[in-house]
């Protein structure tokens, strides 16, 4: 059953303890809307949703609002107004969220503007699944792909790659990171049409158990710098992360608990300020960030602490995003 909450943020902001809603440590699949003005601190609240068999309410950092989208509830409204210092008037969850995100938070300087503007110029309210606005973009034709054929000291074969940091190679038909001790990366030198695009990689090896090693696809990779967004699975704490690397400096943006299954396909998309990570086609983690824009290339990045467990990946692909067709709101009668 889907239950909707008001959550606090936790975490130190340093990998692997990224800033995250408190709900993230209790549910592998959840959605949230970040209302923090300052995303460099774990100070603030977020509306959140999780599909669980029982409530995760703990009365402090995770407050249950409702499990019924239709029922009217003045108690729910009073909780939101009390915690956030607002004066909202709606009494069903979709209507309350619409009022909160389009009027309420804009009247308070401590909140960010949470609506996400897509490549088509439209705004969306997204909480686990979309509850208001036009559809999320679909994929454009013209996908670039890389199979990393054979064995070669030169990475790639289908595309031209630049090994921007560390040593990479083709090993028996997969890409392998062969450097230890830091975040390493490689850029596919095929510019896409827009900076709203996705990249994905089949991660085929990460060592065993809790080895400190990760690998994943990157988007908005700068043409002449080590700047990009990356998503990856990490077996050390069984989570999927989104990070940004800006001129080589690593910052964890968000994470969620997952069951790390290798081999597995991991994807990251960037659409305006919305950055989303997927595992085997299922959305896992989503953040809002505006630090990296305008970059048209994609790539891969990884980390390895020992030559005993070099990470590897295969079947890389990337493509632009484009706007979808007309939209009929799911909750049109309520918002």
Map out the domains of the chain with their CATH numbers.
2-114 (no CATH), 139-322 (2.60.120.560)
The pLDDT value recorded for residue 6 is 92
pLDDT number for residue 293:
95
Q: What is the rounded distance in angstroms from the CA atom of residue 232 to the CA atom of residue 255?
A: 10
Quote the CA–CA distance of 214 and 254 in Å, as a whole number: 15
pTM over 0.75, yes/no? no
Write out the two tokens for 306. 């020992």
Per-residue pLDDT of the chain (335 residues; tens, 9 = 90+): 788 999 999 988 887 788 888 988 887 677 788 887 777 788 888 888 888 888 899 888 999 999 887 789 999 999 999 988 888 999 888 888 888 877 766 666 555 555 555 545 556 666 655 555 655 555 454 689 999 999 999 999 999 999 999 999 999 999 999 999 899 999 999 999 899 999 999 999 998 777 789 999 999 999 999 999 999 999 988 999 999 999 999 999 999 999 999 999 999 999 989 999 999 999 999 999 999 999 999 999 999 988 888 999 999 999 998 643 333 333 323 22
Q: Distance between CA 332 and CA 161 in Å, rounded? A: 47
pLDDT at position 29, please? 74
For residue 172, the Cα-to-chain-centroid distance in whole angstroms is 31
């Amino acid at each position: 059953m889907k239950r909707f909450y008001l959550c606090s943020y936790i975490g130190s902001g340093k990998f692997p303890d990224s800033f995250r809603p408190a709900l993230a440590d209790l549910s592998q699949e959840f959605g949230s809307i970040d209302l923090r003005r300052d995303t460099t601190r774990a100070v603030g609240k977020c509306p959140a949703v999780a599909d669980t068999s029982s409530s995760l309410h703990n009365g402090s950092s995770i407050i249950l609002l409702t499990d019924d989208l239709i029922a009217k509830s003045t108690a729910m409204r009073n909780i939101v107004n009390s915690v956030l210092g607002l004066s909202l008037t709606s009494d069903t969850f979709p209507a309350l969220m619409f009022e909160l995100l389009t009027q309420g938070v804009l009247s308070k300087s401590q909140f960010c503007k949470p609506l996400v503007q897509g490549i088509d110029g439209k705004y969306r309210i997204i909480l686990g699944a979309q509850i208001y606005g036009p559809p999320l973009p679909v994929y454009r034709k013209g996908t670039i792909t890389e199979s990393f054929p054979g064995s070669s000291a030169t990475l790639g074969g289908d595309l031209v790659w630049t090994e921007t940091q560390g040593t990479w190679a083709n090993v028996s038909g997969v890409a392998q990171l062969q450097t230890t001790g830091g975040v390493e990366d490689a850029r596919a030198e095929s510019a896409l049409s827009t900076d709203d695009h996705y990249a994905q990689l089949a991660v085929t090896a990460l060592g065993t158990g809790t080895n400190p090693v990760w690998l994943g696809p990157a988007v908005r990779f700068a043409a002449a710098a080590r700047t990009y967004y990356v998503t990856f699975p990490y077996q050390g704490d069984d989570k999927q992360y989104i990070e940004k690397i800006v001129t080589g400096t690593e910052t964890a943006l968000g994470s969620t608990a997952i069951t790390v299954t290798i081999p597995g396909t991991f994807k990251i998309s960037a659409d305006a300020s919305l950055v989303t990570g997927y595992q085997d086609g299922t959305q896992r983690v989503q953040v809002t960030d505006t630090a990296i824009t305008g970059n048209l290339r994609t790539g891969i990045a990884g980390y390895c602490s020992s030559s005993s467990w070099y990470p590897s990946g295969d079947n890389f692909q990337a493509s632009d995003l484009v706007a979808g067709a007309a939209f009929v709101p799911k909750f049109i009668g309520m918002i």
